[in-house]
Amino acid sequence: MQFLITGAAGFLGQNLANRLVRNGHAVRALDDLSTGDPSQLSPDIHFTRGDVNDRPKLWTLLQDVDCIYHLAARVLVHESVLYPREYDTVNVGGTVTLMEAMRDVGVRRVVFISSGAIYGEQAEQPLHEEMRPHPRSPYAVSKLAAEYYVRTIGSLWGIETVCLRVFNAYGPGQQMPPTYTPVIPNFLNHATRNGTIVINGDGSQTRDYVYKDDVVDAMLSASTAPDADGEIINVGSGVETSVSEVANLVMKATGAKPEIVYNSRNAGGVNRMCADLTLAKKLLNYQPQVPLEKGLCMTLEQDDRLKMQ
């Protein structure tokens, strides 16, 4: 098959693109390189630097494409609070532009990568797709709006659509921005350098951490799953893990004993998050393979930035 991946130089985009090529598919990649690194892409991938709102460029890249993976997005929650208009322009406007270009060229299916963040604070766990979303940031709002556009436009124009709500993906090669680094690379980085692990709140808040290879498995299935058209599907591990538990697992994996400091003034978002995977198992035959403890060890082994100092 011929694929186009937007946001292909990002963490999940790279892993998806490289897996597709290894599986014998043809892959075109688009990324504006605002955060991504194209050096990690296979040389067999046709990479183009560009903006997802550039319709003429999309028309060219979409010729003879069978399926699109749409990952291009601004993804920093704290940044979205400061610049909501930019997040609307890229995450929502870029999605609509892509859908219009698909209609013009005649592409059959799009797999849109959404986020578990759209659920916000919920009274029940695990989180299932029928729950009413309560987004708590412009980032989450933009992902929810893009979901609505993808599904509505798809049904109006005869485009097959699958929206995957990915929870807290991690693994080797994950970006580590200087501020607001995701929990797992942040903790691993500090542990391997005998630094200090800072836990926001009391450490009891939970997340669903899912290894990158499991996410890619779900994305691959979504491109051809016969009964997934129009569906929204959670992609996670199905396991709820507290931040304090993550810190303990990091210390076990690294053998390090970093100082742990609790920052009570910053609770770090919602209290609990765990994905219900019933629909993913039914429609995508999805079964996560990498438990967190194993995934942490694999991340340490494969990411040269995390070698013990």
Which has more pLDDT, 307 or 280?
Answer: 280
In the block, residue with structure tokens 């990158």 = 212
Residues pairing with 109 in the sheet: 67, 160
Report the pLDDT value the prediction gives residue 309, as an integer from 0 to 100.
62
Three-state secondary structure call for residue 97: helix
Q: What's the pLDDT score for residue 269?
A: 79
Model pLDDT for residues 182-210, shown as the tens digit of each residue: 999 999 999 999 899 999 889 999 999 99
Q: Is residue 139 flagged as an active site residue?
A: yes
* Residues 82-99, mean pLDDT to the nearest whole number: 98
The whole-model pTM stands at 0.96
Report how far Cα 137 is from the mean position of its chain's Cα atoms. Answer: 16
Residue 50 pLDDT greater than 70, yes or no: yes
Pairing of strands 160-166, 109-115: parallel
pLDDT of residue 180: 81
* Tokens linked to 293: 């403890």
pLDDT given at position 268: 64
Q: Estimate the share of the chain in helix, then strand, then coil, as percent rounded to the nearest 5.
A: 40, 20, 40
Give the C-alpha separation, 23 to 295, whole Å: 23
Catalytic residue from among 139, 149, 170, 209: 139
Phi, psi torsion values for 104, nearest 5 degrees? -65, -40
Where is average pLDDT lowest: 13-27, 28-42, 133-147, 254-268?
Answer: 254-268
Q: Is the pLDDT of residue 178 over 80?
A: no
pLDDT value of position 136: 95
